[in-house]
Amino acid sequence: MSDLFTSISEKVKAENPTIVLPEGTDERILEAAVRLKQDGVLTPILVGNEKEIQGKAEELGLSIEGLDIYNPETYEHFEELVEAFVERRKGKATHEAARKILKTPNYFGTMLVYVNKAHGLVSGAAHSTGDTVRPALQIIKTKEGVGKTSGVFVMVKNGQKFIFGDCAINISPDSNDLAETAIEAAKTARVFDIDPKVAMLSFSTKGSAKSPETDKVVEATQIAKERHPDLMLDGEFQFDAAFVPSVAAKKAPDSPLKGEANVFIFPSLEAGNIGYKIAQRLGEFEAIGPILQGLNKPVNDLSRGCNVEDVYKLALITAMQGLAE
């Protein structure tokens, strides 16, 4: 395990938070849950039918003794969740509809987080991003002052740590969206012991080109600075001007970043997605995420192509986010 995850593991283990894993019969989820429990870093809650989970565990040769399993069909506090859901949805769901909705694992698991039965949730091994994010947006919702959630990656290699965002959620963010992503990405950076120096990226550096695309980034930079004047943030930058001190000295000599940015905000989802994959595949950085930010409590989305190690690590990250709230 990398130094980053060794550090996260130690911090999480000291608090032993609880993380919901709604896909209890998925073999990757099940194996990761057993490891997390055995390592004593956090307390996993599996959602599903006990007999089905036990049967899958036996197939895999795993012992699930001591693991918490919550079955929506038999959960003793189910009606309390129904009441809380109806209240939260403010007239958008009847009690009858709520009972049906909360039988689905992701909604049930998200409600456990909402009512403080768990610190966070990890899903997506067998569900789409929408199936994971939708309950979170309806129940947990975004923080005050945040209009949209966004998805970032922590890029790690040889002790270097960077934040890339948004690489997962918002296709065509406007200036306000970019500003929100930047502010939340700085908070995410601090969770990983990164002192944030935020660069708003574009194909232009400080007016070297002008277009609606560059204007959007310039405006986003202004919005973020006005909301958080204490934040080390600047733009608009081409990547080299944000990252290479010698280039920054020529292209943006008056910028406080001086080519030492470690949080990079991309102007669109296509740029962010392409950018992190280039760093991952050509630069051989480990890409950890996507980590969803801007929610009142942490919910994170796995890729359906994930492996056991991905589940284990994202559970640790989610726990770390939960402890930081």
**Model confidence pLDDT, tens digit, residues 288-324:** 888 999 999 999 988 878 889 989 999 999 999 988 7
Q: What local confidence, expressed as pLDDT, does residue 184 receive?
A: 95
Same domain for 239 and 300? Answer: no
Residue 217 burial class via C-beta count within 10 angstroms: exposed 0-12, middle 13-18, buried 19 and up: buried
Q: Which amino acid is at 276?
A: Y
DSSP structure string for 32-96: HHHHHHHHTS-EEEEES-HHHHHHHHHHHT---TT-EEE-TTT-TTHHHHHHHHHHHHTTSS-HH
Identify the bridge partners of residue 47 per DSSP, sorted by sequence position: 70
- pLDDT score for 232: 97
Please state, in angstroms and rounded to a whole number, the distance separating the CA atoms of residues 43 and 38: 10
Total number of domains in the chain: 2
Q: What is the pLDDT of residue 8?
A: 87
Q: What is the DSSP letter of 42?
A: -
User: Is there a single domain that holds both residue 175 and residue 133?
Assistant: no
- CATH code (residue 280): 3.40.50.10750
Residues 82 and 181 in one domain: no
157 shares a domain with 277: yes
Q: Report the CATH number that the domain containing residue 54 is assigned in CATH.
A: 3.40.50.10950
| Residue 266 and residue 187 share a domain | yes
In angstroms, the CA 158 to CA 119 distance is 30
Averaged confidence pLDDT in the chain: 93
User: DSSP class of residue 139?
Assistant: I
Phi-psi region of 90 (alpha: psi -120 to 50; beta: other; left: phi over 0): left
Question: Same domain, yes or no, for 191 and 128?
Answer: no
Residues 113 and 33 in one domain: yes
Is the pLDDT at 116 greater than 80? The verdict is yes
Q: What is the mean pLDDT of residues 153-173?
A: 93
Same domain? For 269 and 313 the reply is no
Instruction: Count other Cβ atoms within 10 Å, centred on residue 91.
Output: 7
Domain span holding position 224: 150-286
pLDDT at 325 over 80: no
Integer Cα distance of 179 and 261 in angstroms: 16
Same domain for 112 and 189: no
The whole-number pLDDT of residue 57 equals: 92
Segment 269-282 mean pLDDT: 96
DSSP at 302: -
If asked whether residues 119 and 50 sit together in one domain, one would say yes
